[in-house]
Amino acid sequence: MAKYSDEFKLKVVRAYLEGSLGYKALAKAFNISSESQIKRWVSAYKEFNEAGLRRKSVKQVYSVKFKLDVLNFMKQTGASYQDTAIQFNMNNPTLIVNWKGKFFKEGIEGLKEKVKGRPPMSKNPKIKAVKQESTESREELLEREIELLRLEVAYLKKLKAFREKPDVYLEKHKQRWHSNSKKKDSD
């Protein structure tokens, strides 16, 4: 639900256009949190009349090309969000703000329309995959497990040795690295 009704917006805009009160005074008089909100309403009303103040009941879908054109226009001219929206006959400049944020985060992919909701159920139920029996025999599985356990024990031994004497362990490996690099150079 919209925070402000269309009638309320129209009342505020007419009060601005007919009266001597400025944006700040109107915001205070009508208990509106921001005077910039009134500025947007007034410029939308001046451009589109009452239609500029109404929220659209049907969501309009814009193409990626259109969104890029809008962002490119804004970048080249330095126009504000409101001026850009008016230039492209839009009454919601926050759409442009969202497009710009998505474009900077995700690139062109962010501007594409995303499918919402759950995917429809297909008429043909999916056949559940039958669990394949392992082709390895029990002996092969046990041998594999033993090998993994041996590797784990070797790793833990090296870790224990490193924790007890890190300097000695590092020196030992430095020598091995240097001897390996000399072998490569001699080829």
Number of domains in the chain: 3
Q: What is the pLDDT of residues 11-44, one digit of tens each?
A: 888 887 887 778 788 787 777 877 777 777 787 7
Helix spans in the chain (H): 6-18, 23-29, 35-48, 64-77, 81-87, 93-106, 108-111, 138-164, 166-186
- Domain identity same for 37 and 64: no
- Domain identity same for 3 and 51: yes
- Domain identity same for 1 and 51: yes
pLDDT (0 to 100) of residue 179: 56
pLDDT (0 to 100) of residue 187: 47
pTM given for the model: 0.47
- Domain identity same for 44 and 71: no
Region of residue 133 (left: phi > 0; alpha: psi -120 to 50; beta: else):
beta
* Domain range for 40: 1-55
Distance CA 146, CA 140 (A): 10
- Domain identity same for 4 and 49: yes
- Domain identity same for 5 and 32: yes
**Mean pLDDT of residues grouped by 10 in the chain (187 residues)?**
72 80 79 78 76 68 88 87 83 85 86 80 67 72 92 89 77 61 52
pLDDT (0 to 100) of residue 1: 38
- Domain identity same for 65 and 88: yes
